[in-house]
Structure 1
Amino acid sequence: MSEDDRDADDVLDELREMLDDEADLDSTAPRKAFDLWMQQQQDAAESTLQSYRYRVRPFLQFCEEKEIDDLNEVTTRDIKEFEARRWDSDLQRNTLNNQFGTLRQFLTYCRDLNAVSDDVVTALDVPDLSKEQRVNTEKLITDRAQEIIENLDRYRYASRDHVLTLLLWRTTARIGTIRSLDLEDVYLDEADRERLREELESGGYANHVIESILAEASLPFLYLRHRPESETPLKNQEGGERIINIAEWVADVLRDFIRVNRDDVTDEYGREPLLSSQKGSGRLSDSAIRNWIYIFTQPCEFGGECPHDRDPEECEARVHGHGSTCPSSRSPHKIRTGSITHHRDQGWPVPDLAEKANTSEELIEGVYDQPEQLVRGASRRSHLDKLDSAATDSDDDS
């Protein structure tokens, strides 16, 4: 047999193996596989589940259009055709990165179900992003945040608006976390320390453990807790439970708000929300928080000039529910981004900040931390003396 004949036989053997692999796949409908995959994600936050549905939906629609009733029928050519269609839809590169990344997770699950081959999974190319492409730099910068808080302090002191904005900026927390706070999660005075002792005792903690916890708990602070059974889950569940220390002056604002301005209502589960509301369930909703933050971050909210040559009396963005249409308004997530950057500019170590913000060090450095270079450079000047002292110590040793 010639060498060419052997090469041809090798190719035929490979083709037979591929056909055998496809024949061994289990029959699974695309939407059935998606439903199974989503059932595996039930511990994820609802916002995460919604994003998964949104990102995989175009592929499921593609399968229906191509009359692919069984994932066995999906080929690498189909994957490349789907990719090309999404690229032609004028979506931004970071959007495609998110959609294709999630679709890759789904297809990997399908492979584990033995519904698609490994070639189908690897055929999907998830576009790489530079840091600039991964980060939306329209954060709320420190000067604007402090100006907003000063205006709230001057004109709406200890109002719900004041407390909401102050906590978002000072804690780096997500809006769902701030919304979840109850009165009992706020520890401001010695009476609250004793209340914490009673809670720990009722929780079955040993006395020496209680004393250790109380010794570490420095007033004032917030104790964030995961309560999914009453519709205030934390994004990272029990892993999101933590204590966040607050400054004494922030505690003063909270005391005055609770004493004078807080609506004295309970929610539908009998809990006492810190940010209560006379409307709806008794607890300020996520959508209401977003709407108010869009308004507070508009330059004209406290009498400032509009940088977009609009008349505030006629501007659509001044209508409640349309605040995001102002180019200068910022979402709560942009407050979180700006707050994390501000913490880093003030010298907070990444590990400590990651714990406070309940996110990974990689996300702090790669996404949230958007340094003001001049500020960060100035903060590093304090380390110069260490170089000189190290050289002096070296000379002394010699």
Structure 2
Amino acid sequence: MSDDVDEIVDKLADRLDESADLEPTDPQEAFDLWMQQLDRAESTLQSYEYRIKPFLEFCDENITTLDQLTSRKIKEFEAERRASGLQRQTINNQFGTLKQFLSYCEDIDAISEEVLLSLDVPDLTKEDRVNTEKLVAERSQTIIDQMERFQYASREHVLFLLLWRTTARIGTIYALDLEDVYLDDGDRERLRLYLRESGYSADVVDDILEEAQLPFIFPRNRPETGTRLKNGDLGERVINIADWVAETIRDYIDVNRADQTDEHGRKPLLTTRKGNRRLAKSSMRNWIYVYTQPCEFGGDCPHDRDPETCEAREHGHGSKCPSSRSPHKLRTGSITWHRDQGWPISDLSDKANAGEELIKSVYDQPEKLVRGAGRRHHLDKLDDNSGGSE
């Protein structure tokens, strides 16, 4: 019995010693320090701010400095968030980011290891990870057909085509300049100049150009002038496009593109006459929400709303339509469509600039009947050279 008491006393003493070693740190100050040492895309940092905000608000109401944070308070915060009606995937995202932040706080002696370990990040099944509200191929093709008929070679037409046909993130399309688009033989000399400036010898450049298959887009990572790609320099890659897509882009450039140069002296592919003259990502998102609404081209509303009075038809409120889809859901649908059309995951991983496991677990949401039909040709292999028996 005395041994048990001694063990409890020792544990309490250890906790007191650990607490005495902690550095009283303001929660917001710790968060600001953490954000400053992260090397992430701006969009990722913004998502971190959003995910940590509820925790900082909880701290404002319950503690003054992080050394006052206890395992009990962590559990109280967990209970509040779980009771707020959030989806399990949202809880996983928020708690996962919070775990990273708390790990940093432990590193700077702002909290104890016990507090860090007390945060429970829920595990997710594949069903939890996958939100099946992707933009399906049939709807996407209908939108493309309608835009080709009514808004051919418009800025919005090119935006939608590039997102669907390339699987690219919206940040990648935002980063494109005119010089990143190689559409016809007239662009080969520009490619030659780029390769020579990159340090390749004349012989190597000739070999590359001989093998190069136009048309394609070539997004570049330019963080110093405001367009960092999601994966930095690793996000740079050649993305092939179909000839008819290239023709549409060429017509847009020749006829409908506003001739603009941004504040860094760059010529964006998608331009606007306002702001910094590069079409903003927020504007891109708004347009995608609008064009994925069933009523945009005169279709019936599946939600029994009047398009004349529907709030989702007001400027900037396109996401309020239950049938509208975000650019991320368009990307999910595009990746699934590529897989349904037989694209190997390894090639698609390079094109989409996403890991193979991520594509398998999150982005690739197969249309089972389509994928099954695509495998049917393998049946012949079972009977080849089989001698009539299994």
TM-score (norm 1): 0.92
Q: Share of identical aligned residues, percent?
A: 65
Residue of structure 2 in register with 1:294 after alignment: 289
Q: Aligned equivalents of 1:360 and 1:152: distance in 2?
A: 32
Pairing of 1:15-30 with structure 2 (within 5 A): 15-30=12-27
2:40 pairs with 1:58:
no
Taking structure 1 as reference, are residues 256 and 391 closer, same or farther at Cα in structure 2, changes over 3 Å only? same
Shift of 1:391: 4.2
One-letter amino acid of the structure 1 residue matched with residue 169 of structure 2: R
Counterpart residue number, 2:194: 199
Match of 1:357 in 2: 352
Correspondence for 2:228:
233
What is the Cα deviation at residue 241 of structure 1?
Answer: 0.9
Shift of 1:373: 0.7
**Residue type matched to 2:371 in 1?**
R
Residue matched to 2:217: 222
Residues 336-351 of structure 1: matches in 2 within 5 Å? 336-351=331-346
Alpha carbons of 1:27 and 1:314: their partners in 2 closer, same or farther (altered >3 Å)? closer
C-alpha deviation, 1:208, in angstroms: 4.3
1:207, distance to aligned residue in structure 2 (A):
3.2
- What's 1:36 paired with? 33
Distance in 1 between residues matched to 2:200 and 2:120, nearest whole Å: 51
1:384 match: 379
Q: How many residues align?
A: 390
Q: Does 1:305 align with 2:300?
A: yes
Shift of 1:34: 1.2
Q: 44-53 vs 102-111, which deviates more?
A: 44-53
Q: What is the deviation of 1:154?
A: 1.5
SS in 2 for 1:337: helix
Residue 205 of structure 1: how far off its partner (Å) = 2.0
- For residue 170 of structure 2, the aligned residue among 171, 175, 179 is 175
Structure 1 letter corresponding to 2:359 = I
In structure 1, what is the Cα distance between the partners aligned to 2:385 and 2:205? 43
DSSP-derived class of the 2:90 partner: helix
Deviations 1:302-332 (A, max 9, x none): 2222222222233232222222222221111
Q: 1:77 aligned to 72, 77, 81, which one? A: 72
Deviations along 1:193-250, one digit per CA (max 9) or x if unpaired, are 2211111112222334424433442111001111122222211111111110001111
What secondary structure does 1:330 align onto? coil
Name the CA distance, whole Å, in 2 between partners of 1:224 and 1:335: 19
- In structure 2, what is the equivalent of residue 120 of structure 1? 115
Structure 1 gap segments, 5+ residues each: none
Rounded to whole Å, the distance in 2 between the matches of 1:213 and 1:110 is 50
Pairing 1:279-290 to 2, within 5 Å after superposition: 279-290=274-285
CA drift of 1:385 comes to 2.1
The counterpart of 2:106, out of the listed 108, 111, 116, is 111
| CA 1:272–1:14: 2 relative to 1, 3 Å | same
CA-CA distance at 1:184 after TM superposition: 0.8
Taking the aligned partners of 2:298 and 2:277, their CA distance within structure 1 comes to 31
Q: Amino acid of the residue matched to residue 21 of structure 1?
A: E
Distance in 1 between residues matched to 2:357 and 2:266, nearest whole Å? 36
State the one-letter code of the partner of 2:36: Q
Measured after TM superposition, the shift of residue 64 of structure 1 is 2.2
Mapped pair 1:93 → 2:80: no
Deviation larger for 307-316 or 370-379: 307-316
* Greater mean deviation of Cα atoms: 380-389 or 222-231: 380-389
Partner residue, 1:374: 369
Q: Distance in 2 between matches of 1:357 and 1:314?
A: 38
**1:64 corresponds to which letter in structure 2?**
D
Per-residue Cα deviation, 1:340-385 (whole angstroms, up to 9, x for no partner): 1100111111121111111111221111111111011111112222
RMSD, aligned α-carbons: 2.0
- Pick closer, same or farther for the CA change 1:203–1:63 going to 2, 3 Å: same
* Deviation readout 1:167-193 (Å, 9 max, x if unpaired): 110001111211211111111122212
In structure 2, the CA distance between the partners of 1:84 and 1:162, relative to structure 1 (3 Å rule), is same
Q: Which amino acid aligns with 1:349?
A: P
1:390 is displaced (CA, Å) by: 6.8
Cα separation, 2, equivalents of 1:120 and 1:375: 49
Q: Look up the SS of the partner of 2:238 in the other structure.
A: strand
The counterpart of 2:242, out of the listed 247, 250, 253, is 247
Change (3 A) 1:6 1:339: same
